[in-house]
Amino acid sequence: MGDFLYRTKGDKVIWAIVVFLSLVSLLAVYSATGSLAYRERGGHTEYYLLKQLTVLVMGLLIIYFAHRVNYTIYSRVAQIGFIISIPLLIYTLAFGSHINDASRWIRLPIINLTFQTSDVAKLAIFMYVSRQLSKRQHVITDLKKGFLPIIIPVGIICVLIMPANMSTALLLGASCMLLCFIGRIPVKYLAAMMAMGAGLVLLMFVVAKVSGMEGRTKTWLKRIEHFTNKENSETPYQVQQANIAIAGGGFLGKGPGNSTQRNFLPHAYSDYIYATIIEEYGIFGAFLILMAYMLLLLRCIRIYRKCPYAFGAFLALGLSVTLVIQALTNMAVNVGVFPVTGVTLPMVSMGGSSVIFTSLAIGIILSVARNVEEMEGKKAEQERIARVLAEQEEEEEYEEA
């Protein structure tokens, strides 16, 4: 155990944030699923708690082993991951499991487990964009040599994710745009790409309406209509229950396990787990969760500034940005600031593949942090040796004098 802890490197604050969010996840998931487990599992109220505990332990192990790998290895697998993501997303659209008119999951045949292929694609595209930004800095302002080779793969992945999960596609596109902006791609190129993306979304709605194959677009339109015209539209049921949960939380909340809206709020353990947390831990608890993600972003910005190599810097910042944007979006939806989406709260919401791939992303960030830490340690050691040698020379000169 001591050797295990000794070999655990990287940013200690990020490690602490991961542990904190994992503990919050266990408490919130247990509270939100107690009644559900009792009904569905014959009185076994701890079923989902044990399941989430297993997933989180797997996630922590993934973080540990991923952070032990030199982050330059991820540059080599970035292109492979991007290439694999395309057929996976196409297969998911054609043959994936359909839930609420959305095909987001595929089932692994032997072990009979499902996972969202968009999680694989998100991780792969951020590694790919980070690699391309680092390699093309000398031509980054050139449209053909710098911008298009980076943005076209992003567009392909977003287009393939969009039919089943528009919110994920939009967040992924926005995160990649932000990373490209930090990577010195001209604003005029990014603005043109955003305009094209908006046009593509509008075209998709028009085609769906004309062809009669509305599918998920009907759900999206209802959500947008409610959000933009709340006075003249019926409030969605989940929004009503989330508002009741938040109103009942107050400043310090009702206490752990005392939520009442968990029995009425749909997906109180995943999409709306933040509302459950507010009800039980109040505004104070909600603020702690928000600060944890903000601190994660600040620590990753610190890694970005200290990393001497462009790939590691872009990788750490890009992965942290997408995690924090996802977290902020989930919180905004829960408190009614954004329209309803299917975005979960990273490392807190109950889930399988989402926790696994989030853990892998955090492990990669910690891998960059570990290498930065080691380089700083070597530099400090060299400075200490130089200082000792200088002191010895001064002593020798003094003795000779």
Instruction: Work out whether strand 114-116 and strand 97-99 pair parallel, antiparallel, or are unpaired.
Output: unpaired
pLDDT attached to residue 2: 54
Buried b (16+ CB within 10 A) or exposed e, 46-79: ebbbeebbebbeebbebbbebbeeebeebbeebe
pLDDT attached to residue 111: 53
Answer whether residue 139 shows pLDDT above 70.
Answer: yes
Which pair of structure tokens corresponds to residue 100? 């609420």
Where do the H-state alpha helices sit in 230-352? 237-249, 273-306, 310-334
Query: Rg of the chain's alpha carbons, rounded to an integer?
Result: 24
The mean per-residue pLDDT over the stretch 17-30 comes to 94
What CA–CA distance (Å, rounded) separates 171 from 374?
Answer: 33
Residue pair 311/134 in contact (Cβ under 8 Å)? The answer is: yes
Instruction: Work out whether strand 102-107 and strand 97-99 pair parallel, antiparallel, or are unpaired.
Output: antiparallel
pLDDT attached to residue 210: 65
Average pLDDT, the chain: 84
pLDDT attached to residue 216: 62
Answer whether residue 166 shows pLDDT above 70.
Answer: yes
The mean per-residue pLDDT over the stretch 123-136 comes to 91
Which pair of structure tokens corresponds to residue 396? 């020798």
DSSP 230: G
pLDDT attached to residue 91: 86
The mean per-residue pLDDT over the stretch 309-314 comes to 90
At 369-396, the pLDDT tens digits run 998 887 776 776 777 787 777 777 777 6
The mean per-residue pLDDT over the stretch 63-81 comes to 89
Residue pair 193/156 in contact (Cβ under 8 Å)? The answer is: no
pLDDT attached to residue 382: 75
What CA–CA distance (Å, rounded) separates 238 from 265?
Answer: 6
At 74-110, the pLDDT tens digits run 888 888 989 999 998 888 888 776 655 555 667 666 5
pLDDT attached to residue 233: 63
pLDDT attached to residue 213: 54
Burial classification of residue 240, based on how many CB atoms lie within 10 Å of its CB (0-12 exposed, 13-18 middle, 19 or more buried): middle
pTM for the full predicted model: 0.88
Helix (H) or strand (E) holding 259: none
Q: Which pLDDT band holds residue 130 (cuts at 50, 70, 90)?
A: very high
What CA–CA distance (Å, rounded) separates 251 from 390?
Answer: 59
The mean per-residue pLDDT over the stretch 155-176 comes to 87
What CA–CA distance (Å, rounded) separates 154 from 219?
Answer: 25
At 170-196, the pLDDT tens digits run 889 889 999 999 998 999 999 988 888
How far apart, in Å, are the Cα atoms of 348 and each of 18, 62, 150, 352, 376?
A: 10, 16, 32, 11, 32
pLDDT attached to residue 161: 87
At 206-256, the pLDDT tens digits run 766 666 555 566 666 677 767 666 666 677 788 888 889 999 888 888 988
Among residues 172, 177, 182, the alpha carbon closest in space to that of 322 is found at: 172
Beta-bridged to residue 116, according to DSSP, are: 105
Which pair of structure tokens corresponds to residue 325? 């944007």
What CA–CA distance (Å, rounded) separates 9 from 15?
Answer: 9
